[in-house]
Amino acid sequence: DVKVTQSSRYLVKRTGEKVFLECVQDMDHENMFWYRQDPGLGLRLIYFSYDVKMKEKGDIPEGYSVSREKKERFSLILESASTNQTSMYLCASSLSGVSYNEQFFGPGTRLTVL
Amino acid sequence: KQEVTQIPAALSVPEGENLVLNCSFTDSAIYNLQWFRQDPGKGLTSLLLIQSSQREQTSGRLNASLDKSSGRSTLYIAASQPGDSATYLCAVATLSGGYQKVTFGTGTKLQVIP
Say yes or no to pLDDT of A99 above 70.
no
Strands (E), B9-98: 10-14, 19-25, 32-38, 44-51, 56-59, 62-67, 72-77, 86-96
Residues of B in contact with A102 (CB under 8 A): 34, 46, 49
Question: Beta strand pairing status for A10-13 and A109-113?
Answer: parallel
For residue B47, the distance in angstroms to the closest alpha carbon of chain A comes to 10
Residues of B in contact with A46 (CB under 8 A): none
For residue A107, the distance in angstroms to the closest alpha carbon of chain B comes to 4
Chain A residue closest in CA terms to B9: A40
% of chain A surpassing 70 pLDDT: 95
Q: Which residues contact A108 (CB under 8 A, 6 or more apart)?
A: A6, A9, A37, A88, A89, A90, B41, B42, B43
Question: What confidence tens digit (pLDDT) does each residue in B46-104 have?
Answer: 999 999 999 999 999 999 999 999 999 999 999 999 999 999 999 998 877 777 788 99
Q: Least CB-CB distance to A103: which of B34, B99, B107?
A: B34
What is the average pLDDT score of chain A? 91
Say yes or no to pLDDT of B20 above 90.
yes
pLDDT at residue A97, as a whole number: 61
pLDDT at residue B15, as a whole number: 97
Cβ–Cβ of B100/A31 closer than 8 Å? Answer: yes
